[in-house]
Amino acid sequence: MIDLQDKVTLVTGAGSGIGRAIAETFAKAGARVWVTDVDAASGEETVSRIAGSGGNASFLALDVRDQADRAAVRDEVHRTDGRLDVLVNNAGVGHVGTALTTTLEDLDRLHDVNVRGLLAITQAFLPHMVERGAGNIVNMASIGGVVGIRDRLAYCTTKFAVVGLTKSMALDHAMQGIRVNCICPGRVETPFVQARLAEYPDPKKAYEEMCATQANGRMAAPSEIADAALYLASDASSMVTGTCFMIDGGWSAGK
């Protein structure tokens, strides 16, 4: 079993879906988990779930776009634990649209969270990691950061940027003891996706079409993405840096 015993970890966007699954998986593996989210109620619920299973977690409110939030989170983690071993940049937002229906404001909104926010929270913790000569960063990209997806122009643009950030940071800091990788999920059956499906005229048909995108005919469970994050966050992946971990059910195999 891969473990994160005594590792200090922080997961952004951990109030639901993939982020919650990662936080819970890390806690079960023995990590000290800082759960962060813009939604305090959902973040606190994740902490309660972890505590109910005997894990060690605390909640901190974090909007990755907000400089004061980022500084407060960094200072509290360092004050309490003295270090951060693993940063998981999971927080992100989406948008449906083409070049004709996506406004510049739409693109700016996604960029502010998915790219600028990711880099900014990384910059909050990276100097101390470099000083210690140890650190592990896992970024949440997407299949949409490797191949194009119809009607997802702004989303794909930002996720391609996440892949680029990952590879650049991995190269820049490899000799300083820092590993940086990203996960590229395909369709994942999260509460957010389920809510969006309910808005379709025929939710069952929409669900089947989403599942058919993957070569294996189904969406991933959040726990399957969390298992990949656990591997990348652990010493079991000590030789892995600058990689894009594809978890897409074969979606990209034919691209």
- Give first-to-last CA distance, the chain, whole Å: 34
In tens digits, what is the pLDDT along the chain, a chain of 255 residues? Answer: 799 999 999 999 999 999 999 999 999 999 999 999 999 999 999 999 999 999 999 999 999 999 999 999 999 999 999 999 999 999 999 999 999 999 999 999 999 999 999 999 999 999 999 999 999 999 999 999 999 999 999 999 999 999 999 999 999 999 999 999 999 999 999 887 887 788 888 989 989 988 998 899 999 999 999 999 999 999 999 999 999 999 999 998 876
Q: pTM score, two decimals?
A: 0.95
* In-domain check, residue 33: yes
Tell me, what CATH number does 64's domain have? 3.40.50.720
Number of domains in the chain: 1
- Domain of residue 132, residue span: 8-189+224-248
Quickly count: other Cβ atoms within 10 Å of residue 123's Cβ: 11
Question: Could you tell me the two tokens for 137?
Answer: 């960063």
Q: Which residue numbers are catalytic?
A: 155
* In-domain check, residue 197: no
* In-domain check, residue 100: yes
* In-domain check, residue 82: yes
